[in-house]
Amino acid sequence: MPEHTAAADFAALLRELKDRSGLSYGVLAKRLHMSTSTLHRYCNGDAVPADYAPVERLARLCKAHPEELVELHRRWVLADAVRGRKGAAAAETPPEEADSGTGPGQAASEAAPPAEAASAGAPPAAPADADTGAGPAPARRRTRTAVLAGIAVAAVAAGVALAVGLPGGGSDGDGDGGRHRPVGAAGVTAEGTAPASSSPPSAAASPSSPAKDKGPARTPAGSAPAGAPSGEGQKSGVPVTVRAEPYAWESPCSQRYLADKPASEMKPPPLEEGAAAWVAAHGAVSSGQQYLRLTVQGTGPETVVVDGLTVRVAGKRAPLAWNDYAMAYPGVGCGGGVQTRAFAVSLDSARPSLTPEPGNEDFPFKVSESDPEVYYLTASVSAYDVDWYLELKWSSGDRSGTLTVDDEGRPFRTSGNKGRPAYEFPIGGDGWVPEGTTKLE
């Protein structure tokens, strides 16, 4: 989909919700903790938010219906994917164009070692030449610049290959691929489909993952693609991508985390977009339930059938004897409701399985590059500390396969919290206090 179309469609729905709310840009921006000019850019189509969380908060403030929330997320996915492809294309600008108007003054940057160019994540920028009358650089110098640029682009591509996300990835800045894989974000592994996707999840583990043990590393289980002629899967790759957000919030009131730290050492509750970093900083674990948002999108125009999601348990233990921290500030109202494509699973069951929430359809569903699907999973537990992951089965024509979805190469982890000391953070307070002791005025 063309960039202007995807961004314009996304912005059009944002403006519709904003205008219907009757609230001014200033009022909405203040409630969303962003500048008025930034909100203007989002609603005018001049920029696409790097994270979906502020978009969802804006939609809820404007009292969007569940169907509108789903459609808004779909449009953001498409606009964000196109923006990512634009960022990747900019990183591959031919050196001849980047060096236009330069001369001998660029020799210093060309002398930089390849390792420095690769670590920068982009071809080295050539400084402007003070002598505007200088002729074009010698062919040998252009060739060397092109080689260095190629090395840098190859290094970026190798890094992106470790993560499976939306097509186009992107680099730092507006096209930041990292926004799709924050600290604690999910990893996706394809079983026996394409070489680029067949690395074990442990290879994609973030170096800044929580220091505390999140469960044993594993080799993911899953089925190889079936029904495809020999070698076809390797040539065409996996026709579907999955982006999992394991620290999404259905609402702040329902979200809690267990942490093996006293209240005096805990930071205040984060906003939703900061939850993954907060969890990593405290070595925290989802408490009582975990809410996952899965975005499934085809990599091309062909239709891919999502046949189902299977819950796999990697381990069960007694619930963690840690403190329980509530993310909601006392006295703050919480909204929310059942999303379209919503599922629930009890991890206490001997064989946990997903069931559609009331009023929701069950698998299979169809996706393509222009028609992604978003699934909301609520995993609840009370009697155990559970390591678990998901297997997504897909099929397209005569090809099929399985994607393993987990948390940076390790299982998701959710623990019961019954009887654990619980804490809350009062509005205007300077620390955590035992839950239920806050007096509301």
Q: pLDDT for 249-271, tens place per residue?
A: 887 778 999 999 999 999 999 98
| CB 305 within 8 Å of CB 365 | yes
Predicted local confidence at residue 244, as pLDDT = 92
Residue 380 has pLDDT above 70, yes or no: yes
Predicted local confidence at residue 218, as pLDDT = 40
Between 347 and 157, name the one with better pLDDT: 347
When pLDDT is averaged across residues 45-66 and rounded to a whole number, the result is 85
Instruction: Report which of 19, 88, 86, 17 is spatially closest to residue 55, judged by C-alpha positions.
Output: 17
Between 245 and 157, name the one with better pLDDT: 245
Q: Which residue has the tokens 């942490």?
A: 259
Mean pLDDT score of the chain:
72
Predicted local confidence at residue 187, as pLDDT = 59
pLDDT classification of 332: cutoffs 50, 70, 90: low
Q: How many CB atoms lie within 10 A of CB 26?
A: 11
Fold held by 3-91: 434 Repressor (Amino-terminal Domain) (1.10.260)
3-state DSSP of 27-75:
HHHHHHCCCHHHHHHHHHCCCCCCCCHHHHHHHHHCCCCHHHHHHHHHH
Residue 224 has pLDDT above 80, yes or no: no
Predicted local confidence at residue 251, as pLDDT = 77
> Which residue spans of the chain are classified as CATH 1.10.260.40?
3-91
pLDDT classification of 272: cutoffs 50, 70, 90: confident
Report the alpha-carbon distance of residue 403 to residue 201 in Å, rounded. Answer: 11
Residue 389 has pLDDT above 60, yes or no: yes
Percentage of residues in the chain with pLDDT exceeding 70? 61
pLDDT classification of 23: cutoffs 50, 70, 90: confident
Burial-class residue 245 by CB neighbours within 10 Å (0-12, 13-18, 19+).
Answer: buried
When pLDDT is averaged across residues 401-415 and rounded to a whole number, the result is 93
Q: Which of 24-28, 102-106, 243-247, 378-382 has the lowest mean pLDDT?
A: 102-106
Predicted local confidence at residue 79, as pLDDT = 87
3-state secondary structure of 368: strand
Q: Which of 45-54, 104-113, 139-148, 322-331 has the lowest mean pLDDT?
A: 104-113
Predicted local confidence at residue 32, as pLDDT = 81
Instruction: Report which of 299, 78, 113 is spatially closest to residue 194, judged by C-alpha positions.
Output: 299
Predicted local confidence at residue 191, as pLDDT = 54
Segment of 13-27, 244-258, 392-406 carrying the highest mean pLDDT: 392-406
Predicted local confidence at residue 92, as pLDDT = 54
Burial-class residue 240 by CB neighbours within 10 Å (0-12, 13-18, 19+).
Answer: buried
Between 189 and 312, name the one with better pLDDT: 312
